[in-house]
Each structure stands twice: as C-alpha cells, then as structure tokens.
Structure 1
Amino acid sequence: MILLTGPKPVVIFGNLLDLLFVSKPDLEVQRTKQFGKIYGIFEGSKPLVQVSEPDIIKQILVKDFRVFNTKPRITNVGHPVIESMLITTRGDTWRRARNAVSHGFTVARMRKQYMHVRYCVSEHLLPILYTHADSRAPCDLKRAYSCFALSCITRCAFGVPTDPYNKPQHPFVANAWPVFRLPVWKLFALQVLPPYALRLFNISSFFDETCIANIARTIRQIIRAKASVGDNGDDFISAVMHSKPDVYDDQDEDSLLMAAKTDGQNVVKAPLTEDEMVA
C-alpha cells in the first residue's frame, strides 16, 4: 500500500478553505512543489488524488480512461442538463455517449476546424491587438483572449458566428460568461451540505442555472434548425447529430487505442438524445 502525502484537511471542509486565500492554479503549483507530482487532498469529505505527472495523466485520460469514468467529477443533485454531461455520466451510459461524440474529435474533423480558428484570429483577435499597439493603450489580454476563445468555441462547436468582444449582447455570449464564473459559496455548499439541504435551497449545481437553461434552449433551437434544413456542416454538433465517422486511418495512435478499448465493451451504438446532445 502506498501512502500519499498532502495538505492537512479541516473537518467538514477538507482542503477547500485554502481556495479562499489562493487561486486554484497557484495553489496547485504550491502543493506540487511541497508534496510532489502525486499527492492527496480532500474536497469536503471526499478524498482525491492530484496528479501532475504528464505520463500518468496521459495514461488516465487517454489510454485507460474507460477505467476512470465511474466517479462523476462534478457534484450534481439532479440538474437535467448537467446530469447528462459526458463528464458526469458513468458506466454504459458514458460508453454509449463517448462512442457517439468521438466522431466529432477525429484528427480529420479537427483539421477542418482550422479555417474557423484562423478566421477568429484574423477577424477578432488581431484587430484588437493591432488597435492597442497602434494607440499604445493598455490592453486587457485576459478579456481579448477569452473573447477569442469563445468565438472559436461557438463556430467550431455549433457553427454559430459570434463576436464576443464587440457584440457582447449575443445570446450565446451573454449567457456564457456567468457559466465560467463559479461562485465559491456554491462550491462549499455542494461539498458539505447533504442532498436534501441542497434541494431545500434550490441548488442543483455550481453553475448558474438560469444561464445553463438559456444556453440549452439556444442549442436546442440550433439542433432543430439544422435538422429541418438537413445541415451537414463540419461543426461538432452536426457531427454528433449524424454520427458520421471519419476514416480511422487518419487518426493518431492514442485516438485509435482509446476508441478500440471503448468500442470493445458491448457498447450500444444508439444515437444521442436531444438532451444528451445539448449536455
């Protein structure tokens, strides 16, 4: 038996209180320097193993990921969208969903996204940088690159053009930002309160439920619009809707290995439901 070292937990809260004083990235760097690349922590009463060794991470996330999908990482007490997400499902449900969405992440299909990313660079990111460089005015790089990333996501994932920097009122953009701002109090509540207390306070996830509902409604509209016109675009949602596999010869070794391990476990190759596609 191997005993892991780690920061000393506090009763009920575990090691969550540290997040009140230090950002999560900085905290993980500090802990890695102090305890090494593999150490243990507690989120509330839940023991977790933190890993920062690249080879082990690759083993977990790629080669043997099918073994590590039995424990949902996101705390959830029944939110209809979040409970269908790939990172929260488990067992046969996860294998079926993973088999369906894998067609959207083949090497050939990912290469098709290059033109969308390049467009976002030339039309959204570079004009911001050039404008500030010419005027010698300070540039909020976090906002600039966050907007660039969001414009890439909406184009590549849904085939929806957005300009988050100049048009923040777009429904996708307006509802996306609150989703990425996770309140610390919700994280604490989800870790330390029992399910009945969470239902009493109407807390179903640490995301903003209103924004999740708005985004889900928009995605449903996109799915139905694509289905009605027979849109066979190269965005991710179109690939999932039609589950069109690319030629396996164009995939890298790790993709083939993971697909073979997952597909070889009696997976029911049924298409995703609309709720699962939204999630």
Structure 2
Amino acid sequence: MNVLISSQKDRLLGYQKKYGKIYGHYMGSIPVLRIADPELIKLILVKDFHVFVDRNIVWAPKNSIRTRNLNQLCGDDWKRVRSIVTPIFSSGKMRRMYPQIRQCLASFLHYLDVLAENRQELDMLETFSKFLLDVNATTIFATKLDLYKSATDGNTTSEHPFVFHARDKLVFKAWKEMASLVLPKFFLKLIRLSDTKANKFFEGYIRHMLKDRRDNPGKKHQDFVQLLMDAEVTDRKPGDASVTTQDDKDKSELHHVNQEV
C-alpha cells in the first residue's frame, strides 16, 4: 500500500536511511539491488556502462518492432544497436536541434505572456508538459503541434491525435504497475498491459514518415528520425528486391523506432 500512497523519492530515501547505501529487496517476485553510493553509480552508468547490457524486462510487448527497442534488447543485440545509435547523440549533432528548440521556447514564452495578460491561473505540470511534448515532437519527428493554440484562442474542442495518444502513454496507471509486479509472467502474456491504440498510432505515424522520407530522399529534416535514417546500417545490396514481409519491414525499421515516445 505504501507504494501507492507515497512518492518514489520518499520511499527510496526512507529505505536508504533504514538499510544503507546498498540493499536488496523484491518488487513482487523480482529481486532488485538498490545502489545509492555515488562512486559506484558513476562506475555502473558511465565507466563500466558497457558491461551492464541486460535490462529487467517485466513483460515483453508482442509487437515485433517494440521487442527490438533498445530498452528491450539484451546481450549482443543491445550492444549492436547501442553502437549504432550512440554517435547520433554527439554534442555536434545535438546542436543541430537548437534552432527547433528555440522556436518551441518562443512559442512557450508567448503562451506565458498570454496567460499573464489574461491573469489566468497556471498549472505547472500541464504547462511544462506541453513544452516538453512540443520539443520532443519537433526535434524527434519534425512535427509542429500548436499545443498552445486552444489556450490562447479559447477553442478546446480540437486536439492533435499526437497529443491525445502521447498523453495516454504518459499517464501513470497504478493497476498496470501492480499487475506487472505480482502476476506470473505467463499470465502477463494473456493480458494487454501496453497502450495498444497509442502504440499503433505512433508505429503507423513513424512508418508513414519513413516511407515519405525514403520516397523523397532529397528532402532532409533536422530531427532525430533523420539522424537515425542517416545512420541506418543495412545488409541489402543495391538492386536487391524490396522487402516484402512485415517482419523484414520491422527489422529494417529497427533503428528508427528506438526513439519510442
């Protein structure tokens, strides 16, 4: 019950005071090792990060693309995909996103000015969630959402489907967290813990985007999807027959969907 009524920060601080900087416990039937020593954390997350290649996968999605996400892969597969996507996050390539982020910030500041002029109350969580979603949509998918339009013109009836499904994925669902911890893994396969509609929307959105960019190779975008496409490694030779099966399509799109929303 404490898991549901207290924040994770308060729980972890309480455990640290009681058990020390290194302790173990169970989340349902899953053994967990907690580490609060800064030097040891630095070794795990920085210096020796390449050693910790396996992730604790409570349940695996059935979708063939999402099972190949970086956070779902283990062992050599994780190392291979990480070696492909890591160069994308260099400081030089990150700087390419600055103009888009500045545009998002300009829209955000204008939104705050409108709220101030109208003396409207400000919901911090909702407001900054809009800003972060706008930055993510712009820098990852080159998509402008007009998130602040309804607040400035009074029209709240229309909402971009991107926003609707992103909110659905980000909302914390306590029953799913509890189910993933206490139910046997074989039973988790029988129920749907994933946000099926939202996942289908984003997978379709990305597929359409990839197809459009492949059909128009001369049109370049400054976003993460474009960087992933430029970094794509394929075994197909020029002139090979196009991929026809759905599973092969999923494999060819593996590197692009690692930026799952």
Using the size of structure 1 for normalisation, the TM-score is: 0.75
Residue 201 of structure 2 corresponds to residue 211 of structure 1: no
Distance 2:69 2:85 in 1: 11
Task: Give the gaps of 5 or more residues in structure 1.
Answer: 1-16, 245-268
Which of 159, 169, 180 aligns to 2:170? It is: 180
Cα distance change on mapping 1:196 and 1:19 into 2, 3 Å: same
Distance 1:75 1:37 in 2: 28
**Counterpart of 2:32 in 1: which secondary structure?**
strand
Match of 2:87 in 1: 103
Residue 23 of structure 2 corresponds to residue 39 of structure 1: yes
Using the size of structure 2 for normalisation, the TM-score is: 0.80
Which of 229, 235, 253 aligns to 1:241? It is: 229
How far residue 68 of structure 1 moved from its aligned partner, in angstroms, is: 1.1
Residue 175 of structure 2 aligns to which amino acid in structure 1?
Answer: W
Which of 183, 187, 190 aligns to 1:197? It is: 187
CA RMSD for the aligned pairs? 2.4
Identity %: 29
How far residue 31 of structure 1 moved from its aligned partner, in angstroms, is: 3.0
Cα distance change on mapping 1:166 and 1:34 into 2, 3 Å: farther
Contact 2:58 2:180 in 1 (8 A): no
How many residues align? The count is 235
Match of 2:64 in 1: 80
Deviations 1:206-243 (A, max 9, x none): x3121111111101111111111113322111111111
Residue 274 of structure 1 aligns to which amino acid in structure 2?
Answer: E
Match of 1:149 in 2: 132
How far residue 59 of structure 1 moved from its aligned partner, in angstroms, is: 2.2
Match of 1:171 in 2: 161
Match of 2:141 in 1: 158
Distance 1:84 1:20 in 2: 31
Residue 81 of structure 2 corresponds to residue 93 of structure 1: no
Cα distance change on mapping 1:270 and 1:59 into 2, 3 Å: farther
Match of 2:50 in 1: 66
Residue 253 of structure 2 corresponds to residue 274 of structure 1: yes
Distance 2:112 2:83 in 1: 40
Distance 1:137 1:55 in 2: 46
Distance 2:44 2:220 in 1: 33
Distance 1:152 1:57 in 2: 29
Distance 1:211 1:158 in 2: 16
Residue 100 of structure 2 aligns to which amino acid in structure 1?
Answer: H
Task: Give the gaps of 5 or more residues in structure 2.
Answer: 151-157, 236-250
Distance 1:172 1:20 in 2: 29
Distance 2:17 2:103 in 1: 40
Cα distance change on mapping 1:219 and 1:44 into 2, 3 Å: same
Farther-moved stretch of structure 1 (215-224 vs 51-60): 51-60
Cα distance change on mapping 1:21 and 1:100 into 2, 3 Å: same
Cα distance change on mapping 1:19 and 1:26 into 2, 3 Å: same
How far residue 276 of structure 1 moved from its aligned partner, in angstroms, is: 4.3
How far residue 159 of structure 1 moved from its aligned partner, in angstroms, is: 1.5
Contact 1:144 1:165 in 2 (8 A): no
Residue 220 of structure 2 aligns to which amino acid in structure 1?
Answer: N
